[in-house]
Amino acid sequence: MKSHMIASPPNDPDGLLPAASASLTGTVTGKLDRRSGNGFQPGLLLHDLWVLAKARVVSLLVFTAAVGEILAPHALIHWQAALAGLLGIALAGGAGGVLNQIVEPDLDQHMRRTLHRPLAEGRISRRGAMLYAMVLMSAAIAILAWGTNPLTLVLTLAGTVGYGVVYTLYLKPSTPWNIVWGGLAGALPPLIGWTAITGSIAALPVVLVLLVFVWTPAHFWPLAINCRRDYAKACIPMLPCTHGIDRTRKEVLNYAILTWGVSLIPALLTGDWIYGGIAWLSGAWFVGMALRLKALPEGPEMDQYARSMFAYSISYLFLLYTGLILGRLLIG
């Protein structure tokens, strides 16, 4: 397999700037909208900052953290710590998203789903993005240090560094199993939410971390199947590119079954039959989708179904964590 690294543009020895905009060194407010040709637009800037922080991804992190807080004992009494924890996770998660895109604008230019990102199109400079990440991370550290406890701060920093640095710089470009190990960083928020309230670690939030950890490959690899040509073009060693579609579909099924099994453990720990029923039925559906994906012949239908499974997997995780909240409210 040829190297996954993209050649650095002449004026960018670090290989971190998009080739089409390596010479652009202005700050955020100095950028022009390449799509419209107009000058600085505050609305566009706000949208770009939203995209740069990967706000849609961060919203899922915040939701799972909130569930961790709700499940923790005496959550209402410690509502200030709960709010500080959620705000800190949101800001730190945004900083991780920015770091991810600072490293990858040249790769993003080769992917249809990422080629219009602010750094890839040169609307925001690498310097401006770095400043943005520093502001977000500094605010997160300050809020978590003031409103929660040292354990929560350490876990949040570990998650941000794990995604923004370890996954982006080392795992993603070097191994097809990148999403397996890199997924641990995104799996930490339920535990972080719990520790924001209690300051300690317990079995239930650890299981919730394990749940997101094993869900992540089954969630992401269908998208990788759908986007395999783009990943190959960008020379990113995703599993469908290095091991083929059949092997990837087998792994999706394996992890879907594993996710189904792990999703039942919280019901055993808490005796929550409401959540247990939701986990059983939704997990069976998820495994059924993985089986169908595995059975479909390669072609446009398989590609479209893989994309549908990716979308459903997000709803599946949301349903599981909502089930945990319902069980806590109705059963206690």
Q: What is the pLDDT of residue 38?
A: 54
Q: Where are the domains of the chain?
A: 41-201, 202-332
Q: How open is the CA angle 182-188-193, to the nearest 5 degrees? A: 160
Q: What is the pLDDT of residue 45?
A: 84
Residues in the chain, total: 332
According to CATH, the superfamily of the domain at 41-201 is UbiA prenyltransferase (1.10.357.140)
The tens place of each residue's pLDDT in the chain, 332 residues long, gives 333 333 333 333 333 333 333 333 333 344 434 444 456 677 788 888 898 899 999 999 999 999 999 999 988 899 999 999 999 999 999 999 999 888 877 777 777 777 788 888 888 888 999 999 999 999 999 999 999 999 999 999 999 999 988 998 889 889 999 999 888 989 999 999 999 999 999 999 999 999 999 999 999 999 999 999 988 888 889 999 999 999 999 999 999 999 999 999 999 999 999 999 999 999 999 999 999 999 999 999 999 999 999 999 999 999 999 999 999 888 86
- What residues have CB less than 8 Å from 197, skipping those under 6 apart? 69, 72, 73, 74, 75, 78, 81, 82, 85
Q: Which helix (H) or strand (E) holds 45?
A: helix 42-52
d(CA 172, CA 108): 13
d(CA 35, CA 276): 49
Query: Nearest-CA neighbor of 205 among 214, 223, 192?
Result: 192
> Which pTM was predicted?
0.84
Q: What is the pLDDT of residue 284?
A: 97
